[in-house]
Amino acid sequence: MITGKPDWWDSAVVFLLRDEVLGPVVEKYESEHLTGKGDIFATFVRSVVGQQISVIAADSIWNRLSELVGDMTPENVCKFSPEELATSGITRPKSQYIHGIASNSSDFLSADWDKLSDIEINKHLTKFRGIGPWTSEMIMIFALLRPDIFSIGDIGLIKGVQLLVPEAVSKEDVLEISKRWAPYRTAASWYLWRMLDPVPVEY
């Protein structure tokens, strides 16, 4: 797994700096970048924790879950029941999703990621209970460092695009605008989040 700064990031910055919509945002945060941690399972868990709640709430729950479990590995998660995992503040369904995939981690982690397309990776990930398109896309962005992912299911990205382009009223409008940032929509997403949050988003 690739860790640290993606090898395509500098090319993405050069490309996005030329964009009249996003360029000023990129320039403001040009010294920062997405950082891959190379841990698909931990990114999955953190993404599930962050589903449909604020960044601050997600960080608080993640910290409590990490204190309970220790290193976020399938083996450590399986030491606890879903009910015990839920004491960290995650909902009962989320605790069941996390425990279920931890129990089936060999299948979950078995894909030959480098040989699969984004569509194929999404198909593999979303076959597991608890992983929808948004969670799959967060895994592709933050663990697999795929360069051209834009999650139309992410409220923050929609808000960010609409702040820059107020006439982008619908999700379809937002998705159409995102096409101008291909083939580096992952970097564009990171800068949109960075524009909204006081600290870089991590999953």
Return the pLDDT at 42: 97
* Span 100-122, average pLDDT: 96
**CA gyration radius for the chain?**
17
Return the pLDDT at 54: 83
pLDDT tens digit sequence for 30-79: 999 999 988 999 999 999 999 988 888 899 999 999 999 999 999 999 99
Domains and CATH numbers, the chain: 9-35+149-196 (1.10.1670.40), 40-142 (1.10.340.30)
Backbone angles phi, psi at 67, to 5 degrees: -65, -35
Distances (CA, A) of 173 to 18, 107, 125, 166, 186: 21, 37, 27, 10, 18
Rounded CA gap, 19 and 112, in Å?
Answer: 34
Rounded CA gap, 26 and 38, in Å?
Answer: 24
pTM tops 0.85, yes or no? yes
Return the pLDDT at 52: 85
* Span 3-21, average pLDDT: 97
pLDDT tens digit sequence for 182-195: 999 999 999 999 99
Least confident of 14-28, 42-56, 149-163, 175-189: 42-56
